[in-house]
Amino acid sequence: MKKRHFWAAITIMVLAIVMAVSFVACNGDKNPANMKGEEVTAEQWVKAFDYSDVKNATINQVTTGTEDGNEFTITAVTEYDGDKIHTKKTTEYIDEEDGLQKEVDESYVAKEGDKVYRYSYDEEEKTWSREELSYNVDLSIGNFDQLSNNFSKFTYDKDKNGYVGNLEGYNVLIKIIGGKFVYAEQTITNSDDGMTTKFTLTISGVGSTSISLPTVAEDNNN
């Protein structure tokens, strides 16, 4: 599968919000995509993107699209639990020769004492390994500066139940529920090759997300 299928079209959106994660108010199992977002003031907008105290959360990013009539789906789930992060990206696409293909990339990063480790899965051996990282890793959830500083670029759309704005030439739908940012959506159609890409980000599990590190076959670093 050509990497441009999904990365080229969503680069701007990812840069804008991929580090901006994560919160959902007490909405149970309700899907923010189907809920009505709130209209807020400029001051409330800034507060909606303040996640400085959030330590536990789950971010679910889904990218779907087509190219040359073939569909692809990328699901990226990132879990935060204090000094631990778990990421799992699943890519499904149609190969012209081999049909439906599925690729999974999963890893953990954890701070243990004064060291930081990365856990990686070997698909062939069906085992986990652990290696100490020689560089610093930011394990915090991140911030929403590119969104929180751009209230003037968004307008509340009653038909779409959320704020619609334009960032770097791309239209974005944002929903704030319970005073917090919980949902983002973007659809792009490339007029040159006919590729259509839809990107959604949903935030949940605040205060309840928990990560259990995998058992390793052997430690590469102690």
Q: Which residues of 78-111 are buried (b: 16+ CB within 10 A; e: fewer)?
A: bbbbebbbbeeeebbbbeeeeeeeeeeebebbbb
User: What are φ and ψ of residue 158, in 5° steps?
Assistant: -65, -30
Has residue 70 got a pLDDT over 90? no
Specify the residue for token string 């303040």.
Answer: 50
Strands 180-189 vs 99-112: parallel, antiparallel or unpaired:
unpaired
pLDDT greater than 80 at residue 65: yes
pLDDT band at 87 (very low <50, low <70, confident <90, very high): very high
- pLDDT score for 38: 97
pLDDT reading at 220 higher than 60: no
More confident residue, 96 or 6: 96
93-125 per-position pLDDT tens digit: 988 778 888 999 999 999 999 999 999 998 888
30 pLDDT higher than 80:
no
Closest to 184 in 3D by CA, of 196, 197, 175:
175
Per-residue pLDDT averaged across 26-52, rounded?
Answer: 84
126 vs 9: which has the higher pLDDT: 126
Q: Which pLDDT value is given to residue 187?
A: 85
Strand residues in the chain grouped as ranges (E) = 56-67, 70-81, 84-95, 99-112, 115-122, 127-132, 154-157, 162-167, 170-177, 180-189, 196-204, 216-219
Structure tokens at 94: 């149609």
The pTM of the full predicted model, rounded to 2 decimals, is 0.78
Q: Which two tokens stand for residue 160?
A: 């779409």
d(CA 131, CA 119): 7
Q: What is the pLDDT of residues 138-174, one digit of tens each?
A: 888 777 788 899 999 999 999 999 999 998 888 999 9
Give me the pLDDT at residue 129, please.
95
| Domains of the chain by residue range | 3-219
Residues 162-219: pLDDT tens digits? 999 998 888 999 999 999 898 999 988 776 766 778 999 998 888 899 999 999 976 5
Rounded to 5 degrees, what are φ and ψ at 17?
Answer: -135, -5
Inform me whether the pLDDT recorded for 75 exceeds 50. Answer: yes
Measured distance CA(174)–CA(37) in Å, rounded? 8
Decide if pLDDT at 21 tops 70: no
| 130, 54, 87, 116: CA torsion to nearest 10 | -20
Q: Please state, in angstroms and as integers, the Cα–Cα distance from residue 113 to each residue in 49, 116, 132, 219, 222, following that order.
A: 30, 8, 12, 16, 12
